[in-house]
Structure 1
Amino acid sequence: MGFPVGYTELLLPKLLLHTLSVLGFIRRLISTLFRSLGLADFLEPEIAWPPRPECSSEPHSVSAVLIRELLPVVKFSELEDPPENCAVCLYEFDSGDEVRRLPNCRHIFHRSCVDRWMDHDQRTCPLCRTHFIADDLQDAFNERLWAAAGILDFYGAEYSPSPMNPTGL
């Protein structure tokens, strides 16, 4: 029977890879030559990819908007005994950086890092998974979420969430 032959031992894949490498080199050489001669208008424009939707600055959910309202933004220089770097992006904090300190776990992140996390409808700390909203504020958060979603208008006030009936139904 024997073992299957690896692609490095076959002539055709090697020949194809070398041909593609040479063609790529020729393309870059011609492109550089045309640009240096001022003939760049004759070249095809590079492909411009549209921006990724998760990079947009608009939040994707109502809960993300409400959580952003509840979590304050402060300057890093105003914090006492802060960590050295952000646990999401691993960059060090600068004194002028805007950060969010989570109320339950007290972890600190760059504002943009934790906002991107919230845009993916995450409601917990990216480091320890503690909920963003403190337990004592959860009822108020739920009421605001229901009001923003229009559920209270549709069902009426008798279906609003309460500690005994968290779903409101």
Structure 2
Amino acid sequence: MGFPVGYNEVFLPKLFVHTLWFLGFVRYVIVALFSFLGLSDFLETDTVWQDTGDRTRPEKPPVSALLIREILPVIKFDELVVVGDPPESCAVCLYEFEGGEEIRWLRNCRHVFHRACLDRWMDHDQKTCPLCRTPFVPEEMQEEFNQRLWAASGVGDFHSEYISVPEL
């Protein structure tokens, strides 16, 4: 039997790898040429991500987000008292906590997040912890939360405005 002389299946990936290598080489030559000519300032070698909160933040946060913000405490990271090791970083943005930063400490699951990170999460009508999906509102406060949400949403006003009662 023996081994076949050529593999047709390997040709396409091999061509792809050589093309990528060639493009990388061309990029290297261009960068070296610009550097030699003193024009390296015109090249963007590092990708810079601009953090614009406008593009991901809704114009008007949902009513539920506003009510949840009233329930969840805002404290300074220095004031956080945790049994065991305190959290090192926010699970949303992955930045480490600093001493005077405002954080939100979730009552149900005890996770800690930067205030801005969790507020942005709630602005997208999320009602659970971004890490473990435990509801923000504790069980004992759920009934009160639902009543306040119902009253704040103006559903009762909507029905009374658009439902007409026939005259007798």
Query: Is the TM-score greater than 0.5?
Result: yes
Q: 2-side partners of 1:37 and 1:75: how far apart? A: 47
The secondary structure found in structure 2 opposite 1:74 is: strand
Q: Is 1:19 matched up with 2:22?
A: yes
Does structure 1 retain, via aligned residues, the 8 Å contact 2:108–2:135? Answer: yes
For residue 84 of structure 1, report the CA deviation from its aligned partner.
2.1
The answer for the alignment partner of 1:62 in structure 2 is 63
Distance 2:127 2:40 in 1: 54
* Maintained 8 Å contact 1:59/1:65: no
Aligned residues: 149
User: For residues 91 and 8 of structure 1, what CA distance do their matches in structure 2 show?
Assistant: 42
Q: Does 1:146 align with 2:150?
A: yes
Instruction: Name the % identity.
Output: 44
Quickly say closer, same or farther: Cα 1:73–1:18, change in 2 above 3 A: same
- Look up the match of 2:86: 84
Bigger RCO (CA 8 Å, 6+ sep): 2
Distance in structure 1 (CA, Å) of the matches to 2:40 and 2:91: 45
Q: 1:71 & 1:4 partners in 2: Cα distance?
A: 62
Distance 1:5 1:78, change over 3 A: same
TM-score by length of 2: 0.62
Residues 98 and 110 in structure 1, CA contact (< 8 A), matched pair in contact too: yes
Q: Which residue of 1 aligns with 2:118?
A: 114
Pair 101,13 (structure 1): closer, same or farther in 2 beyond 3 Å: closer
Distance (whole Å) between structure 1 residues aligned to residue 129 and residue 117 of structure 2: 11
What code does the residue aligned with 2:28 have?
A: F
So what's the TM-score if we normalise by structure 1? 0.61
Name the CA distance, whole Å, in 2 between partners of 1:96 and 1:75: 5
Separation in 2 of the partners of 1:21 and 1:147? 61
Give the Cα–Cα distance (whole angstroms) in 2 for the partners of residues 134 and 111 of structure 1: 19
